[in-house]
Amino acid sequence: MDIFFFLGITLVSLIFITILRREYEEYAVLLSMIVGTMIVSRLIGRLMDLIGAFTYLAEKAQINADYLSIIFRVMGVAYVAGFGGEICRDANENTLALKLEMAGKIIILFMAVPVMVAILEMVLRIF
């Protein structure tokens, strides 16, 4: 889990991508997609421990568990949409990237509705 591994992989693939981009754009996009997936998939395993720590802290603070799960789901959707959007932007397809990110935002909005309803009811109960 050291940074030099990621730096090495990024630099090696950067050279190959610049070579391939001159003649074939599609190989460069494919290679950058694969390297991006590779780098993050090595990190994703560690995220499980972080999430364990957060759930432990949430239990300590008596935060409702399903609100926390909604937060994690929203983070997941946001990350995946960003991941796809960046790949599209790398291939100079800004419209595709925006469409994908808009879809991600709408999905997140749908996920957040129950939380908003709960907050509103809490506020109304006070008055």
What residues make contact with another protein under the rule CB under 8 A?
Answer: 5, 8-9, 12-13, 16, 19-20, 23-24, 26-27, 30-31, 33-35, 37-38, 40-42, 44-45, 47-48, 51, 69, 72-73, 75-77, 79-80
CB of 79 or CB of 86, closer to another protein: 79
Nearer to another protein, 50 or 123 (CB): 50
DSSP 60-89: HTT--HHHHHHHHHHHHHHHHHHHHHHHHH
Nearer to another protein, 58 or 79 (CB): 79
Q: Please, which residues have CB within 8 angstroms of residue 106's CB and are 6 or more apart in sequence?
A: none
Least Å distance between CB 79 and another protein? 7
Contacts with 108 (C-beta within 8 Å, 6 or more apart), sequence order: 74, 77, 78
